[in-house]
Structure 1
Amino acid sequence: MKALIQRVTSAKVTVNDELVSNIGRGLCVLIGISQNDTKEDANYMARKLLSIRLFDDDAGKRWQKSVKDLQYELLCISQFTLYNRLKGNKPDFHLAMQGADASNLYNFVLQQLGDQYSADKIKDGKFGAMMQVHIQNDGPVTIEIESPKKENENASK
Structure 2
Amino acid sequence: MRLVIQRVSRAAVEVDGVVVGAVDEPGLLILVGVTHDDTEEVAAKLAAKAWSLRIMADEKSASDLAAPILVVSQFTLYADTRKGRRPSWNAAAPGPVSEPLVEHFVRCLRELGARVETGRFGAQMEVSLTNDGPVTILLDSDTSR
Report the TM range for the smaller structure's normalisation.
over 0.9
SS at match of 1:140: strand
Q: What are the ranges of 5 or more consecutive residues in structure 2 without an aligned counterpart?
A: none
Q: TM-score, normalised by structure 1?
A: 0.87
User: Shift of the alpha carbon at 1:148?
Assistant: 3.7
Letter in 1 for 2:106: L
Q: What are the ranges of 5 or more consecutive residues in structure 1 without an aligned counterpart?
A: 58-63, 152-157
Is 1:35 aligned to residue 19 of structure 2?
Answer: no
Give the 5 Å matches for 1:80-95. 80-86=75-81, 87-95=83-91
Is 1:75 aligned to residue 76 of structure 2?
Answer: no
Letter in 2 for 1:44: K
Letter in 1 for 2:45: Y
Task: Tell me: CA distance 1:53–1:94, structure 2 relative to 1, closer, same or farther (3 Å).
Answer: same
Larger radius of gyration: 1
Instruction: Give the Cα–Cα distance (whole angstroms) in 1 for the partners of residues 144 and 45 of structure 2.
Output: 13
User: Shift of the alpha carbon at 1:84?
Assistant: 1.0
SS at match of 1:92: coil
Is 1:22 aligned to residue 16 of structure 2?
Answer: no
Task: Write the deviation string for residues 4-62 of structure 1: whole angstroms up to 9, x where unpaired.
Answer: 011000000001111101102100010010111111110111111101010233xxxxx
Give the 5 Å matches for 1:1-157. 1-23=1-23, 24-57=25-58, 64-86=59-81, 87-118=83-114, 121-148=115-142
Moved over 6 A (4+): none
Greater helix share, 1 or 2? 2
Instruction: Give the Cα–Cα distance (whole angstroms) in 1 for the partners of residues 48 and 112 of structure 2.
Output: 8
Greater strand share, 1 or 2? 1
Task: Tell me: CA distance 1:147–1:22, structure 2 relative to 1, closer, same or farther (3 Å).
Answer: same
Equivalenced residue count is: 143
Instruction: Give the Cα–Cα distance (whole angstroms) in 1 for the partners of residues 107 and 137 of structure 2.
Output: 22
Q: TM-score, normalised by structure 2?
A: 0.94
Q: CA RMSD in A?
A: 1.5
